[in-house]
């Protein structure tokens, strides 16, 4: 079975929202029939291994779209720049259908800032609010193009009603640069199991609830969360509300582990760590990404945030085995220009340094480690920083951490 074309997919979603047969934008992984009421069968990103199939009802999809409209303040016209095979792209289709407004979709092929500018031109000309969903990698390319003398896409985004940004953590410097340009960025958090984004800028959408479970509960459920010293304010993110999926098809054990009922209703236990302050959620990354170095838990996303702000680039932080520390914290920096020079030296200045300037590299690494240690504690300071042309991806804007670990090991073996 092949992936349906966009027109067929949109028509199928329209009928599914009205009680028709469920839509599966990708070939099915299991033979199990979806439960009654299912409108959409979508795959997870596979971040913990093999992707699973999630069953979403029409009610969940409608609840998500309605809550998004309420938060944004207008239905608007939706522009599709993400693959419709993932939940974020599917939700753009759902929102456009329920709003009764035309859907503008990018042609198949590689995303480019120039293509985005052309795509936004007609919807913006109508005078209606225009909404678009992007991943950080796409926004990074738009900003990079603007800084290189081609600002059309960034200018177009600044005229939109809302630019939803999700799928991965956004480097603070990128977020600040976009907002300084007038882009109405709304950071979203969610997943296939919640019908897409359900927390906007840290605040749950109407009807959505957020709470934190102790880390110990994940360990008790055999989720493989490291046990070490950690901040007691950090917990595992749990979500509830009308946007929740029915469960996983063909995997009752996974459904029972992730979806559970209590006195407050049905909750979905994510694999993400976070803090909750005055009702505002801050996501620190996946629990199973936690690195234990020297007996201390380190959340890579927190380190990536500091490094992204400091170095102005996409960063992935991973742990690799180390005789002394158990795991050594390594940061891998996406730097197409700097990757051609000596590695293990961060920052734009590295591009001007002569190859092999070991003393300078050590000094620069020490400077970066000092900044991270001051912000997050000594254990969070990466012991190595590698530069590569680009970070490997496993989906729209999602870094493939396993591939990054392999890259780090291969570099160590080669050097």
Percent of the chain with pLDDT over 90: 55
Residue 159 and residue 142: Cα distance in Å, rounded? 14
- Gyration radius of the chain's alpha carbons: 22
For residue 10, give both structure tokens: 């949109």
pLDDT value of residue 326: 83
83-87, 158-162, 168-172, 271-275 — which one is most confidently predicted on average? 158-162
pLDDT category of residue 183 using cuts at 50, 70 and 90 = very high
Side-chain-side CA neighbours of residue 200 (13 Å): 17
**For residue 65, is pLDDT > 90?**
yes
Task: Identify the sign of the CA torsion 214, 298, 189, 183.
Answer: positive
pLDDT value of residue 3: 62
Q: What are phi and psi of 53, to 5 degrees?
A: -100, 130
pLDDT value of residue 108: 79
Residue 285 and residue 57: Cα distance in Å, rounded? 28
Q: Tell me how far apart the 2 most distant CA atoms of the chain are, in Å.
A: 67
CB 391 within 8 A of CB 334: yes
Q: What is the mean pLDDT of residues 138-155?
A: 95
Contacts of 383 by beta carbon, 8 Å cutoff, 6+ apart = 325, 328, 329, 330, 369
Residue 127 and residue 61: Cα distance in Å, rounded? 27
Burial class (CB in 10 A: 0-12, 13-18, 19+), 222: exposed
pLDDT value of residue 298: 85
For residue 304, give both structure tokens: 């990536």
Bridge pairing between strands 162-165 and 265-277: unpaired
pLDDT value of residue 49: 58
Task: Give the residue with greater pLDDT, 110 vs 17.
Answer: 17
Indicate the pTM of the whole model. Answer: 0.78
pLDDT value of residue 348: 37
Cα angle 379, 380, 385 (rounded to 5 degrees) comes to 115
Extents of the domains making up the chain: 1-286, 290-414
pLDDT value of residue 340: 36
Q: Nearest-CA neighbor of 187 among 177, 195, 196, 197? A: 197
For residue 260, give both structure tokens: 């559970």
pLDDT value of residue 336: 58
CATH 3.40.47.10 at 290-414, yes or no: no
For residue 213, give both structure tokens: 């479970």
CB atoms within 10 A of CB 110: 6
pLDDT value of residue 179: 96
Residue 345 and residue 284: Cα distance in Å, rounded? 25
CB atoms within 10 A of CB 371: 15
- H-helix or E-strand containing 188? strand 185-191
CB 252 within 8 A of CB 32: no
Average pLDDT, the chain: 85
Task: Give the residue with greater pLDDT, 214 vs 413.
Answer: 214
pLDDT value of residue 309: 83
Q: What is the mean pLDDT of residues 135-164?
A: 95
- Return the SS3 of 67: helix
Residue 163 and residue 130: Cα distance in Å, rounded? 9
The pLDDT tens digits of the residues spanning 366-412 come to 989 999 999 888 989 999 999 888 888 876 667 888 899 888 888 87
- Report the phi/psi class of residue 224: left, alpha or beta, with left for phi > 0 and alpha for psi in -120 to 50: left
**For residue 59, is pLDDT > 90?**
yes
CATH number attached to the domain at 1-286? 3.40.50.12780
pLDDT value of residue 365: 87
> What is the b/e burial string over 171-208, where b = at least 16 CB atoms within 10 angstroms of the residue's CB?
bbbbbebbeebebbbbbbbbbbbbbbbbbbebebbeeb
The pLDDT tens digits of the residues spanning 197-252 come to 999 999 999 999 999 998 776 554 444 444 444 456 888 999 999 999 999 999 99
pLDDT value of residue 247: 95
Least confident of 12-26, 168-182, 207-221: 207-221
Residue 89 and residue 345: Cα distance in Å, rounded? 37
pLDDT value of residue 364: 83
Domains 1-286 and 290-414 share a fold: no
Give me the helices (H) in 181-295, please: 215-220, 252-258
pLDDT value of residue 290: 81
Question: DSSP letters along 100-150, please?
Answer: T-PEEEPPSS---HHHHHHHHHHHHHT-S-EEEEE-HHHHHHHHHHHHTT-
């Amino acid at each position: 079975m092949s992936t349906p074309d966009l027109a067929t997919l949109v028509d199928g979603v329209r009928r599914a929202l009205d009680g028709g047969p469920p839509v599966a934008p990708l070939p099915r992984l299991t033979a199990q029939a979806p439960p009654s009421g299912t409108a959409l069968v979508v795959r997870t990103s596979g971040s913990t291994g093999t992707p699973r199939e999630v069953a979403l009802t029409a009610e969940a999809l409608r609840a998500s779209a309605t809550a998004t409209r309420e938060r944004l303040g207008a239905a608007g016209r939706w522009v599709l720049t993400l693959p419709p095979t993932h939940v974020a792209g599917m939700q753009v289709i759902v929102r456009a259908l329920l709003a009764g407004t035309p859907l503008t979709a990018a042609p198949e092929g590689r995303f480019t800032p120039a293509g985005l500018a052309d795509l936004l031109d007609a919807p913006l000309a109508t005078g209606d609010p225009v909404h678009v969903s992007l991943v950080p990698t796409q926004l990074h390319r738009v900003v990079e193009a603007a800084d290189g003398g081609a600002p059309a896409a960034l200018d177009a985004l600044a005229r939109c009603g809302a630019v939803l940004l999700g799928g991965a953590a956004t480097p603070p410097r990128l977020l600040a640069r976009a907002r300084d340009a007038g882009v109405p960025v709304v950071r979203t958090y969610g997943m296939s199991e919640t019908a897409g984004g359900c927390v906007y800028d840290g605040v749950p959408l109407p009807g959505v609830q957020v709470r934190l479970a102790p880390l110990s509960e994940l360990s008790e459920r055999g989720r493989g969360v490291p046990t070490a010293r950690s901040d007691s304010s950090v917990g595992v993110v749990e979500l509830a509300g009308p946007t929740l999926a029915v469960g996983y098809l063909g995997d009752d054990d996974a459904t029972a582990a992730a979806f559970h009922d209590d006195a407050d209703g049905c909750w979905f236990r994510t694999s993400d760590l976070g803090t909750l302050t005055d009702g505002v959620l801050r996501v620190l990354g996946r629990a199973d990404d936690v690195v234990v170095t020297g007996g201390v838990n380190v959340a890579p996303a927190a380190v990536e945030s500091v490094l992204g702000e400091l170095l102005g680039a996409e960063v992935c932080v991973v742990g690799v085995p180390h005789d002394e520390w158990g795991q050594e914290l390594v940061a891998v920096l996406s730097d197409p220009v700097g990757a051609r020079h000596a590695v293990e030296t961060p920052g734009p200045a590295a591009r001007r340094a002569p190859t092999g300037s070991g003393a300078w590299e050590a000094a620069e690494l020490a400077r970066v480690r000092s900044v991270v240690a001051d912000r997050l504690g000594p254990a969070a300071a990466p012991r190595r920083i590698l530069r590569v042309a680009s970070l490997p991806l496993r989906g729209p804007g999602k870094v493939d951490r396993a591939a990054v670990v392999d890259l780090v090991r291969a570099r160590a073996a080669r050097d």
